[in-house]
Amino acid sequence: MREGSFVAIDGIRTHYLEAGREHRGKRPSVLLLHSAEYGGAAEFSWEYNLEALGAHHHVLAPDHLGFGLTDKLFDFCGQFNRRIAHIRRFLEVMDTGPVNVIASSMSGGMALAVAARKQTDWPIAKLVVSSGGGEAPDNAARKILNSYDGTREHMRRILGVMFLDKKWAHDGAYVERRWEMSRLPGAWEATTAARFKAPFREAGGAKERDAIDYGAIRVPVLVFAGRHDPLRKPGYWQDFVPLIPNAELHIFERAAHMGHIECAEEFNARVLRFLAE
C-alpha cells in the first residue's frame, strides 16, 4: 500500500499522491481523480500514469472521501456534491490555481457535470475523461461490481470485469493489494452506502451526472473509451461526445473499463499531447 501525503481539508484527513513538484507554477497542475469500485484509490487508478505525467507537469492525485487512505465519510443527503466540494477545497488548500483534470469512471462523470455547471466548482483548464460519461447500464457486469462481499475471489471477479486482459485478475499480488485496500476500516461501508435506497422514499428526478448538459461545457475535453467496456453500453460515447463543443475522442481497441491502466503508454502519450496543445 503506497502512502503519499496527508492534508486536513475542513477537518477531513485527506490522502494524496504527488509528482512533478518541480513543475509547479510553470503550467496548470494536473488533478487526477480515481474511480469508485470497491478498493478504489488514487494508488490503483494512477500508478501507471503518475510518473509519466509528472515528468512534464505538477500532478496531484487525492483519494476521494470514503476511499483509499482518506477519512471514511459519507453524506446521505448528497455525497455527489459533498465529493465535489471536498475536491474544490482540496484545490484551494493546495493553492493550485487552474488545473487540468484527468478523471476515471465515476470521477469522469462527476468532472463532466462540474464542467457543465454555470458556476463551475473547480478551476478546470482542460478535461480528460477515461470511461466516464454516457449511460451506465444495470447489467450483469455492474452487478458483479456492486455486490462485493469482501472476499479475495470477489475482488478477482471485479478485476475480471474492469480489465479486458485477464492477467490482472490472475495476478495474485495485484488482487491482494486491492483486496487489502477494500478491507480498511470503513472502506466497505462507505462504498456500499452509495447503493442504499430507502424503500419508502420515492425516486427523484434524474441525477445530475445522468442529465448533464454537455453542450454547456466550454473547456477542451478529451474522452477515452474502451472498445470492450462491459460497464457501458456499446458505442456509448456516441451519445455525448458529439454534444461537447470542443471534444476529442480516443478509443482503446484492446481495453475494457480501465484503458488508462491497460494501455498506459498509449494513454500517457495522448494526454501529454492534448495538454501541450
> pLDDT tens digits, residue range 75-130?
999 999 999 999 999 999 999 999 999 999 999 999 999 999 998 899 999 999 99
Strands 5-9 and 12-19: antiparallel
In a domain, 199, yes or no: no
- CA-wise closest residue to 19 among 41, 52, 42, 65: 52
Residue 105 lies in a domain: yes
Calculate mean pLDDT across residues 10-35.
Answer: 97
pLDDT digits (tens, 9 = 90+) for 193-228: 988 878 887 655 456 667 899 999 999 999 999 999
Residue 123, domain member (yes or no): yes
Query: Does residue 164 belong to any structural domain of this protein?
Result: no
Q: Residue written as cell 484503458?
A: 259
Q: Confirm whether 236 is domain-assigned.
A: yes
Q: How high is the pLDDT of residue 204?
A: 52
Q: Which structural domain, as residue segments, surrounds residue 15?
A: 5-136+213-276
Residue 186 lies in a domain: no
The residue ranking higher by pLDDT, 1 or 197, is 197
Count of domains forming the chain? 1
Q: Give the distance from CA 106 to its chain's centroid.
A: 5
Is residue 202 domain-resident? no
Give the residue among 9, 23, 69 at the shortest CA–CA distance from 43.
69
Does a structural domain hold residue 240? Answer: yes
Question: What CATH code is carried by the domain that includes residue 29?
Answer: 3.40.50.1820
Residues 252, 222: contact at Cβ < 8 Å? no
Q: Of all helices (H) and strands (E), which one includes residue 128?
A: strand 124-130
* Rg over CA atoms, the chain: 17
Cβ(161)–Cβ(38) under 8 Å? no
